[in-house]
Structure 1
């Protein structure tokens, strides 16, 4: 398993971001996508239909983008068949294995902000109100309880994943500072331009 001291020696083409809820998977996926010019496919947006109903096309959509040559995405929905589709195709996995207190605080801030502002998330869905979160005990319906239930799941799974997907370069980052250092070093080592990506003109 690689660490922050092991930058990528090549421009990555297919990247997975692993970590518990609140670790910053989607934010990092967007950041990496911009750095390496990779399309970002957000799994939450593909999974959640209206009224939080799972989309029946979810796994087909995942298979479709996984078959392409370049992408970055979050590693989640493992019980929905994602493990059979994305890890075999990915080249690199960035694992955000941050301190429990940090990810708890991040998730609380994110959840409170979304709940108070009532910002639309995916396909018309919004974070439940604070009252709803307070009375909802099912982890599948309460992201705060889900995080508490799954806090150690990646630490338990990674030894098996290392053996199962031996081709996958897994980079374990334990603090946001390590992420910044690793990403900067990887951009430099891979020869990727550090200039801001050019704005693509739209066809008229």
Structure 2
């Protein structure tokens, strides 16, 4: 009996707040792959993009083994990872689940006033910003929820046919996948 191929470069994608980082940490632990959180690399103090972000991502992509979120496709940075990735785990949950998760995380972070990434000084803005800031995560999710399904996944299938894409339509499917990694 032949073994399934071992994936050494794993990406996780989906709408904001869906659970990408959580799944990345689980894959990292079970497959002993180093994990780099892209948002942590991207955001410097006061929510300013770090100028060396693209260079850092290129360095990660060049490694033989890693797990990371697939993000920043619009800027092209995510494509550096997609070119080298072997497996893409796509969290494509129903909007009600995605929205509930994002609201829960946003409220928790906003009320706790804890730094999102220690040492950056970056904290979630007050909740009322969701009504005044066009780029607030809750508004961003509303605008981009279908973007993976309608735009990014078809593009990735076309431009990176080597990338094996596994779609999870519900958190139960993801949990079964993680349990099978053990």
Give TM-score scaled by structure 1 length. 0.83
Check the 8 A contact 2:89/2:166 in 1, yes or no: yes
For structure 1, list consecutive stretches of 5 or more residues without a partner in the other structure: 1-7, 188-193, 195-204
Distance in 1 (CA, whole Å) between partners of 2:113 and 2:150 is 35
Give TM-score scaled by structure 2 length. 0.93
Higher RCO structure (Cα 8 Å, ≥6 apart): 1
Check the 8 A contact 2:11/2:69 in 1, yes or no: yes
RMSD: 1.3
3-state SS of 2:89 partner: strand
Does residue 124 of structure 1 match 2:118?
A: no
Residue matched to 1:134: 131
3-state SS of 1:65 partner: helix
Over alpha carbons, which structure has the higher Rg?
A: 1
Within the candidate set 17, 22, 36, 1:22 is matched to 17
Moved more, 81-90 or 170-179: 81-90
Does residue 63 of structure 1 match 2:55?
A: no
| CA displacement at 1:178 relative to structure 2 | 0.6
Within the candidate set 100, 104, 120, 1:105 is matched to 100
For structure 2, list consecutive stretches of 5 or more residues without a partner in the other structure: none
Within 5 A, what are the aligned runs for 1:38-57? 38-57=33-52
Distance in 1 (CA, whole Å) between partners of 2:10 and 2:121 is 28
3-state SS of 2:5 partner: coil
Runs of 4+ in 1 over 6 A off after TM superposition: none
